[in-house]
Amino acid sequence: METQPHDNLHHAPVSSSDADNLHSDAVTEISNHRDTEVKSDVSKDEVIRILQAIASTGRFWHDWDNLKSMLSFQLKQVLSEYPEAKTTSEQQCASLGESYSDLVNKLDEELTCFIDGPPFTLQRVCEILLDAKNIYPNLSKLALALEKNLLVTSTMAISTDPYPQDPVQEPDDHEKASENQQQQSDGAQNGAEPLVADNDEVMVEADVGDDMTIETEVFEDAKSSEQDSEPNANNA
């Protein structure tokens, strides 16, 4: 009975270069999976609120690796909103000096290269990412501003202060009422007349109406007396 050669039972040998490629693809897949997990845990609105808290206080409270993923996500989102992102490669190189993809990768690497903590310019970076289109009308100026704030070496430490509940919350009705009272008080101190309540305005208008009625009646009585005296003067 003939037996099959053992070589036929084995797969073809894998070269070292192929092994490196497989390992690289596996690492990339794992890295992308981790990024997806980080992003899926935090909604886009929550990312905006976190950046707003940093922009308003100059401090941060989240794990730097997680915060770095949020910043990277927002960075790419903001850059993609500029019209240069949709132009041809030739147009991008003419206006940006490089392709759009190269620009995005460069800025993202400058952000993610911080290991121990975020750059000390984190507050300004968040301010830019939250309102980029209103601050910088074109992508080249935005890229220069971001690069300037990312090419630093000093980092920040995570804050131990209480996290702000809602740093951008609009004042409620109670706060608005207190503000109106303060404005009225300031106006009175400066010599300005304070605002009058609606009921008081109605009463004032009623008083003025009564006075006008009385004056009208007096005027009509006086006019009637003059007309009565005129025939007597003619007869005389």
Residue-level pLDDT at 191? 53
What is the mean pLDDT for each group of 10 consecutive residues in the chain (236 residues)?
49 48 41 42 90 96 96 97 94 94 97 96 98 95 97 95 70 52 55 46 45 52 55 51
Residue-level pLDDT at 170? 47
Question: With 0-12 CB in 10 A as exposed, 13-18 as middle and 19+ as buried, what is 103?
Answer: buried
CB 127 within 8 A of CB 48: no
* pTM strictly above 0.85: no
118-148 pLDDT, tens per residue? Answer: 999 999 999 999 999 999 999 999 999 999 9
Residue-level pLDDT at 190? 52
Residue-level pLDDT at 165? 78
**Residue 62 tokens, joined:** 């989240």
Compute, in degrees rounded to 10, the torsion defined by CA atoms 67, 69, 74, 75. 110
Which helix (H) or strand (E) segment is 45 a member of?
A: helix 44-57
Indicate the residue type of 221.
D
State the Cα–Cα distance between residues 226 and 188, nearest whole angstrom: 48
Residue-level pLDDT at 180? 57
CB 46 within 8 A of CB 54: no
Residue-level pLDDT at 83? 95
User: How many beta carbons lie within 10 A of that of residue 223, not counting itself?
Assistant: 10
State the Cα–Cα distance between residues 163 and 185, nearest whole angstrom: 34
User: Phi first, then psi: what are they for 189, rounded to 5°?
Assistant: -70, -30
